[in-house]
Structure 1
Amino acid sequence: MPAAILSSLHTTYNITTIYDLRSRGERQRNASPVIEGIETVWIPSCSDLEGLGIPSSDEEAAKKTKTASMVLKPADFIEKNGEVAFLKMYANILQIHKEPYKAIFRRLMGPIAEGGILFHCTAGKDRTGVLAALILALVGASKEEIAHDYALTRVGVDPFRTHLLGVVLKMLGMSEEDALKAPGFEELCGAKGQIILAFLDWMDEKWGAGGKASASAEYPGVEGYLTEELHFTAEEVNKIRSNLKIEKSQLDGI
């Protein structure tokens, strides 16, 4: 990305912190750029810590990582247009990325004068898409808005399609010719809105019923995840929501 565009993240959009959700290996292959005025933060996921032999602070997540470090194949994405496989993948993301997600939500509790944040992974679809959906759900965005935001991933990915296709092919150990013919490959690379909505429904079933989410929560599973898995209090969740729902007039001069 051109330096002028990178610098505009700070000078135009007041981004002061970038959270990198990529793995240690991904960062080693493609280092984060240095941008004046912006701090890049990388917090190891449970899988990164396990790979180094470092105990995770979350023992349960660490245990799940041993079985959750799944390698999904295109064929896994045939059933229900990929919904079943994506639910497994995104459930895994919620577990192994607890620490990075927790850090980002904690930052969102802070004063807006600290500046804006940007978060990304490699493709900007799965790890990033899950977190974006959690944030949008927390502030009460409609299902249509959340689905549309997730589907917009395709717009951002298209200019980098060749590079990202190479990343996926390397991960799968397949040639481009074989991958493009493989049943389920199109679904694996897709970003259909109904997938993220099915995932939020799954979260409601897992953490919404009988959990700590407020009775009026539109997406109780998201609140339940924040309180039960990331260990935020109900007051802290409300603080995050309040910060994210500020009036436009409050941004003047920041």
Structure 2
Amino acid sequence: MPALDHESAPRISRLQMVPPDLTARRILDWAGLLNARDVGGLPPMHGGRIRPGALVRSDVLTRLTDEGRAALVEHGVRTIVDVRSAGELAEDDVYPFAADDEVVKYLNVPFSLGRDADAWAEIKARYERAETREELNRIDLDGHRAGLVAIARAVADAPPGGVLVHCHAGKDRTGLVIGLLLSLVGVADDQIADDYALTSLNFEPLIVEWLDRMTDDPRERQRLRGLAEPRREVILDTLGYLRGRYGSALEYLMAGGLEQPYLDRLEARLVERP
């Protein structure tokens, strides 16, 4: 995997475009990361707010520096839920948190958990036919419910402190996880979409890194860029599809086996009442 040039990569370079309010305060400038933020402060429709520090999203932590690690711990993160596959983990040269870390608990809960060979063949065929990120997210909702339920359980069962969820870029798999959890506790679609779109603040280096790994062909790079760009319309479509096919985030997760005690713990963990 090509290394990112941290000297030339922008560091929250477009933050001036974000008003100095809740949104700006949620951006986490942790050394080594390009796409980290706290979803705390978003308002569920039935009152209260998402508890600041309770749920953090980011890109992969392999680039986190010692300074960045210290900032993560100071922010209150005490559990990391890494949703990457075993194959992706095998490519890591270094990871800043071990399974036996005494301060931060590390969990690998793959997004693809519970996916058998037959299911993967069907998902892969649908992936290959897909032309938009919206289609890919729909496929992920249909094909990866077991993994999404397992991730929700891991967040619910985490020890006291903040939970950080990450995949590689912190956009697609992480975006789906965060979108589901926020929708579950009543955050409006527009608020979820605004959070999703914040990924664009610093995402260009990650897009280029991914494109360099995928292809040198200019036309294919242009097509793939369309799949990679974090547009708020993507998550709005995903949430609309979720309701149209499954009813709601609650119904989707419960039908996948998430029991009421986990739902109660998620609500208590994520939502802060007045």
Q: Do they superpose with TM above 0.5? A: yes
| 1:42 equivalent in structure 2 | 108
TM-score when normalising by structure 1? 0.69
Q: Give the deviation of 1:96 after TM superposition.
A: 4.9
Contact 1:22/1:121, CA 8 A, preserved across alignment: yes
Choose from 218, 228, 236 the match for 2:255: 228
Listed one character per residue, the Cα deviations across residues 40-92 of structure 1 (whole Å, up to 9, x for unaligned) are: 21134547xxxxxxxx4x7xx6643221024746x943xxxx3xxx3432233
Are 1:44 and 1:99, in contact at CA under 8 Å, matched by a contact in 2? no
With normalisation by structure 2, the TM-score equals: 0.65
* 1:204-219 → structure 2 map (5 Å cutoff): 204-208=243-247
**Mapping of 1:157-176 within 5 angstroms?**
157-167=203-213, 169=214, 174-175=215-216
CA distance in 2, matches of 1:102, 1:32: 28
**Any conservation in 2 of the 1:150–1:191 contact (CA below 8 Å)?**
yes
Aligned-pair distance for 1:194? 1.2
Aligned-pair CA distance for 1:129: 0.6
Contact 1:109 1:240 in 2 (8 A): yes
Partner of 2:95: 33
CA 43–99 in structure 1, closer or farther in 2 if over 3 Å, else same: farther
Report the CA distance shift for 1:156/1:117 in structure 2 as closer, same or farther (over 3 A).
farther
More helix by share: 1
Change (3 A) 1:7 1:101: farther
* Distance in 2, Cα, partners of 1:162 & 1:6: 25
The farther-off stretch of 27-36 and 150-159 is 27-36
Query: 1:148 and 2:194 equivalent?
Result: yes
Q: 1:132 is aligned with what amino acid?
A: I
Q: Distance in 1 between matches of 2:184 and 2:212?
A: 34
1:128 to partner: Cα distance: 0.6
Instruction: Within 5 Å, give how 1:35-184 maps onto structure 2.
Output: 35=97, 37-46=103-112, 56=114, 63-70=118-125, 72=127, 76-77=130-131, 82=132, 86-110=133-157, 114-167=160-213, 169=214, 174-175=215-216, 177-180=218-221, 182=222, 184=223
Are 2:130 and 2:136, in contact at CA under 8 Å, matched by a contact in 1?
A: no
* CA distance, structure 1, for counterparts of residue 121 and residue 130 of structure 2: 20
Are the equivalent residues in 1 in contact too, given 2:197–2:230 (CA < 8 A)? yes
**2:76 is the alignment partner of 1:14:** yes
Contact 1:46 1:62 in 2 (8 A): no
Residue 137 of structure 1 deviates from its aligned partner by 0.9
In structure 2, relative to structure 1, the CA distance for the partners of 1:166 and 1:91 (3 Å cut) is same
Return the letter of the residue paired with 1:121.
C
Shift in CA distance, 45/132, structure 1 to aligned 2, threshold 3 Å: closer
> What secondary structure does 2:203 align onto?
helix
Distance 1:160 1:195, change over 3 A: closer
Q: Which runs of 5+ in 1 are unaligned?
A: 48-55, 209-220, 249-254
The answer on whether the counterparts of 1:46 and 1:97 sit within 8 Å (CA) in structure 2 is yes
What is the aligned residue count?
Answer: 207
Contact conserved, 1:17 with 1:117, CA < 8 A, in 2? Answer: yes
1:165–1:8 Cα change, 3 Å? same
| Stretches of structure 2 lacking an aligned partner (at least 5 in a row) | 1-31, 33-64
Query: Partner of 2:230 in structure 1?
Result: 191
RMSD: 2.8
> Per-residue CA shift, 1:93-116, capped at 9, x if unaligned?
2355444433332234347x6211
Identity in percent: 24
Shift in alpha-carbon separation, 1:64–1:130, aligned structure 2, 3 A = same
Partner of residue 28, structure 2: none
Whether the 8 Å CA contact 1:129–1:150 is kept in 2: the answer is yes
Provide the C-alpha distance between the structure 2 equivalents of 1:39 and 1:46, rounded to a whole number of angstroms: 21
State how far apart, in whole Å, the 2-side matches of 1:200 and 1:40 are.
29
The answer to which structure, 1 or 2, has the higher relative contact order (CA under 8 A, 6+ apart) is 2
Q: CA deviation at 1:235?
A: 5.4
